[in-house]
Amino acid sequence: MKNINYLINGILAVAILILFILQFSGKKNGLLPAATTASSGEVVAGFPVAYFNVDSLLLNYNFSKDLNEQLVRKQENARANVTQQARNLQSEVDNFQYKLRNGAFATQERAEQEQQRILKKQQDLQALEERLTQELMEESQRMNAQLSDTIRLHLRQFNQDKNYQIIFGNAGGAPIYQAEAVYNITTELIEYLNKSWSGTPAE
C-alpha cells in the first residue's frame, strides 16, 4: 500500500512540475494567452485563435478601396476607348453603305478596296478589345496579389503582440459558420491596416 502511495505522489509531483514549466514557458514565449478581453470588457478564457471578415476588410481597408478605384478607372478608360473607336467605325460603315447605294464609287474595285479597309478596321477593333480585356484581367490579378501580400505582411506585424496561433479569414463561402464575437478581430485589424496605409498605389 505504501508503495502505491509513493507511486501516486510521485506521478502527481511530476505532473505539477510539468504544468509549472508549461505555464511559465508559455508566458515567456507569449504563445498561449491566458485570457482574451471582449469588446464588452468581459474576460474570456483564452484560446489563441482569431478570425476576420474578409468582405468587410476589403470594403473598409483604404488600400483595397484605392486599388479598386484605380482598376475601375482603367476599365472605364478602356471602355471609352473601345466605344469611341466603335462609333467612328460605325460612321465609316454608314458612309460606305450610303456611297455604295448611290453609286459614288468610280469603279467596283474602288468599292471593294474601301470594303476591305473597313473590314480590317473591324478586325483591329476586335483585337484591341481582346487585348484591353486581357490587360485588365492581368492588372486585376496583379492588384489582388499585391493586396493579398500586403495584408499577410501587416497581419504578421499585427500579430506580434497578439500571439494568435491561427488567424482565419472568414469570407462568404468560408467554413466558419459560428464563432464567438470575442474572436472576431475585423474592426481592430482594419483600424491597424488603415493606420499603416497612406498614399496612392503605384500604377
**Residues of the chain where predicted confidence (pLDDT) is lower than 50:** 1-35, 38-40, 43
The confidence score (pLDDT) of residue 16 equals: 35
Pairing of strands 43-45, 49-53: unpaired
CA atoms of 123 and 135, how far apart (whole Å): 18
What global pTM score does this model have?
0.67
Cell of 179: 464563432
Report pLDDT digits (tens) over 100-109: 888 888 888 9
The confidence score (pLDDT) of residue 80 equals: 96
For cell 497578439, the residue is 162
CA atoms of 176 and 183, how far apart (whole Å): 12
- Cβ atoms 168, 189 nearer than 8 A: no
The confidence score (pLDDT) of residue 173 equals: 65
Report pLDDT digits (tens) over 117-131: 999 999 999 999 999
The confidence score (pLDDT) of residue 196 equals: 87
Amino acid at 147: L
The confidence score (pLDDT) of residue 45 equals: 52
